Amino acid sequence: MTCIVAVTDGERVVMGGDSAGAAGTDLMLRSDPKVFRNGEYGVGFTTSFRMGQILRFGAVLPEPPVGASGEELERFLVTELVEAVRDAFEARGFGKRVRTPVEKTGYTEEGQAWGGLFLLGVRGRIFQVRQDFQVASPKAPYSAIGRGAPAALGALHALGPIPALSLEERAERALWAAEAGCTTVRGPFSFIATSQVRNPMALAAGGQASWPGARRSGNRCRWPRTVPRMPSALFPRSCLPHLPAWIPRCRRLRRLEGRCAVPGRRGCGRTPTSSIAWSSMARGR
């Protein structure tokens, strides 16, 4: 079950998740989200809803030092954050030890501590905390976990050369791909976004790469002249038949009035899904 995606531009991290709770052939759409904020962190989980509830309500996640970035940030997550997560799991009966043969290198007779898989977004970077509590940092400016991850990662890779797409639009389209290719991924999708990094100068010290070809001027998007205008990539599929043949360069879905309407003609009047799903925190820059 599950698909959790995260995308970053080096300043913000946008995370999205589906609503499916699957057990064998049974499936239930759940109202409790798989992505949420805990302090400065954005969190998206798989493995167990119990684990997600502990991360959301039962774990006090220590915030990184001001200005921490690169190796310093990774060291903090490995030494401080992971220990806080392990303590929260064990205190609430979720943490367990997996018994392994003594002859296996790096394992003890009692076994190894075992948790679950979840994504973290902090200071403009994406991290995976895996079942053995290792902290992985992908080189790409995106990541995905869960059964729908292969389809989502393929979509995120394919969307890379289109710098006009916002982080929110990339995450939503990746979840569309996961839902189309995985029977245990279902909408509605929920999204959150982390705030901008506190020390922008720290980005050069070590962080994920930004999307290729992207250029920004203030809060307005500037498309490279070599990139064609692609209205089909900017709007929900339900509104595509009502779009004009072209759209002004910097006119994005989130800058419209919130309903599909073609200038000079009557539109479908439907509210795009993005206008419903995104919180003001996810939209603001």
Whole-structure pTM value: 0.67
Instruction: Quote the CA–CA distance of 249 and 216 in Å, as a whole number.
Output: 13
How large is the average pLDDT for residues 32-37?
A: 95
Q: Give residues with Cβ within 8 angstroms of 77, minimum separation 6.
A: 64, 120, 122, 127, 135
Count Cβ atoms within 10 A of the Cβ of residue 69 and give its class: 0-12 exposed, 13-18 middle, 19 or more buried: buried
**In order of start, what are the domains of the chain with their CATH numbers?**
3-205 (3.60.20.10), 228-283 (no CATH)
* First-to-final CA distance of the chain: 32
265 pLDDT higher than 90:
no
The pLDDT value given to residue 68? 83
Instruction: Quote the CA–CA distance of 256 and 249 in Å, as a whole number.
Output: 13
- Calculate ∠ Cα 192-197-202, nearest 5°: 145
Task: Give 128 or 251, the one with higher predicted confidence.
Answer: 128
How large is the average pLDDT for residues 164-190?
A: 94
250 pLDDT higher than 50:
no
Give percent of the chain with pLDDT exceeding 70.
Answer: 62
Give percent of the chain with pLDDT exceeding 90.
Answer: 47
What letter represents residue 134's amino acid? Q
How large is the average pLDDT for residues 75-100?
A: 85
Could you read off the pLDDT of 134-160 as tens digits, one per residue?
Answer: 999 999 999 999 999 999 999 999 998
Could you read off the pLDDT of 16-29 as tens digits, one per residue?
Answer: 999 999 888 888 99
* 186 beta partners: none
Peptide bond preceding 188 in cis form (omega within 30 of 0): yes
How large is the average pLDDT for residues 85-89?
A: 92
The SS3 of residue 230 is coil
Minimum mean pLDDT among 140-144, 160-164, 261-265: which range?
Answer: 261-265
Cα-Cα-Cα-Cα dihedral of 157, 148, 29, 237, to 10°?
A: 40
How large is the average pLDDT for residues 53-69?
A: 90
Task: Give 9 or 214, the one with higher predicted confidence.
Answer: 9
172 pLDDT higher than 90:
yes
Phi, psi of 73 (to 5 degrees): -65, -45
Instruction: Quote the CA–CA distance of 126 and 142 in Å, as a whole number.
Output: 7
Q: Name the strand (E) or helix (H) holding 82.
A: helix 82-91
Q: Which two tokens stand for residue 34?
A: 């798989």
